[in-house]
Structure 1
Amino acid sequence: MMSKENFQTNNVTIDNIRRDLVIGSRRFSNYWWACVLSFGGIGFLLTGISSKVQTNLLPFINYQDIQFFPQGLVMSFYGIIALVLSLYLWACIAWSVGGGFNEFNKKDGIVRIFRWGFPGKNRRIELVYSLNEIDCIKVDLQEGLNPRRSIYLRLKGKRDILLTRIGQPLTLEEIEKQAADLARFLQVGLEGIA
């Protein structure tokens, strides 16, 4: 049975096994942009088609106000591009590209990093390392116009493996807490936090 101390939103710790879930492409911003591009693309494409066939396909657009060449043609082109981009986003969401988990198993002495990729031969991306190969937990903090706050698993030999999700950066407090909790669980050093 899991106690409240061992259960957090994206982290589950049971019997010396910690599993951190990674959302990947199924985050709110991707749903938002997929919807916006879908509706916008359909609107632009129907407006362009309306100007060509001389029929109002959308009730709030008068086809007589739009000439097919060049406005209708350009709107059709923009609509097709938006629909292709939205199709790509919906496919990434459906396939859960980038989603997965980071599992730290003290019982078996392994670290398992798992992510879903695009369909094909390499759909399942899985990295497995021994806990003995872990040098430390590294925190990368870069402030500025495009801030980056990331947690890395540093292996002996100075190879860094990204553990945090891509997207909206976590607050400084959240990143410090997650890194400290992970370093404490693995009983390794913490690098990058003064």
Structure 2
Amino acid sequence: MVTSTPSTQKSILRYGVVGARRFSNYFWAVVVAIGGLGFFLAGLSSYLHQNLLPIGNPLELVFIPQGIAIGFYGVAALLLSTYLWLTIAWDVGGGYNEFNKETGQVKVFRYGFPGKNRTIEISCRMSDVQALRIIIREGFNPKRALYLRIKGRGEIPLTRVGQPLPLADLENQGAEIASFLGVPMEGL
């Protein structure tokens, strides 16, 4: 699955960056919501002495300590699920990388959490870009990332956080950006 697709015109190269709207986040938000609702209803059923679940029999639970503990875990899971759904709705981490030869600008744009710093936008001149760095680390916690090395700013990440990009996609994207900017690639 290609996560960053280039949109090329004569003098503009643009890559979309997938944020929180990934299949895995949707999956876990649904699983946690269903599980949390089930635990909460089981705890509430033991308190009310009325079965609120279509499966199982939570009436056999004693409210103190079993019902209250299960209810607490249900509330915690529902809060976690709410956080996951809000993160998906706000598309935290999503955005784009744009390289524009017409204006001579590089723009890195990402969405964050709501507030005064909701959008993160980094712009610089293309002439300030020194190199494109690729980091590839395999093993238990793999990392595959692209960074722009910019004069006076250090390194700015271009790839998403979380699931690493496939190696072929990372190398192709890195080669295309380095060629477009006319800078060397480091790290291969």
The residue type equivalent to 2:167 in the other structure is L
Work out whether 1:113 is the aligned partner of 2:99. Answer: no
Percent identity for Structure 1 against Structure 2: 51
Work out whether 1:172 is the aligned partner of 2:167. Answer: yes
Relative to structure 1, the CA distance from residue 84 to residue 35 in structure 2 (aligned partners, 3 Å threshold; closer, same or farther) is: same
What TM-score do the two structures reach when normalised by structure 2? Answer: 0.95
Match of 2:58 among 52, 55, 63: 63
What pairs with 1:109-148 in structure 2 (closer than 5 Å)? 109-148=104-143
Q: How far apart, CA to CA, are the structure 2 residues paired with 1:169 and 1:35?
A: 23
Q: How far apart, CA to CA, are the structure 2 residues paired with 1:157 and 1:125?
A: 18
| Number of the residue aligned with 1:44 | 39
Contact 2:108 2:121 in 1 (8 A): yes
Helix, strand or coil at the partner of 1:35 = helix
The residue type equivalent to 1:85 in the other structure is L
Helix, strand or coil at the partner of 2:84 = helix
Helix, strand or coil at the partner of 2:69 = helix
Q: How far apart, CA to CA, are the structure 1 residues paired with 2:59 and 2:35?
A: 21
Relative to structure 1, the CA distance from residue 100 to residue 9 in structure 2 (aligned partners, 3 Å threshold; closer, same or farther) is: closer
Give the CA deviation at 1:158: 6.6
Give the CA deviation at 1:166: 1.1
What TM-score do the two structures reach when normalised by structure 1? Answer: 0.92
Q: How far apart, CA to CA, are the structure 1 residues paired with 2:153 and 2:103?
A: 23
Q: How far apart, CA to CA, are the structure 2 residues paired with 1:109 and 1:64?
A: 69
Count of aligned residue pairs for this structure pair: 186
Match of 1:150 among 145, 169, 177: 145
| Number of the residue aligned with 1:54 | 49
| Number of the residue aligned with 1:103 | 98
Give the CA deviation at 1:15: 2.1
Q: Which runs of 5+ in 2 are unaligned?
A: none
Give the CA deviation at 1:68: 1.1
Helix, strand or coil at the partner of 1:48 = helix
| Number of the residue aligned with 2:81 | 86
Give the CA deviation at 1:9: 6.1
Helix, strand or coil at the partner of 2:185 = strand
The residue type equivalent to 1:70 in the other structure is P
Q: How far apart, CA to CA, are the structure 2 residues paired with 1:101 and 1:23?
A: 8
Q: Which runs of 5+ in 1 are unaligned?
A: 1-7
Give the CA deviation at 1:139: 0.3
Contact 2:4 2:18 in 1 (8 A): no
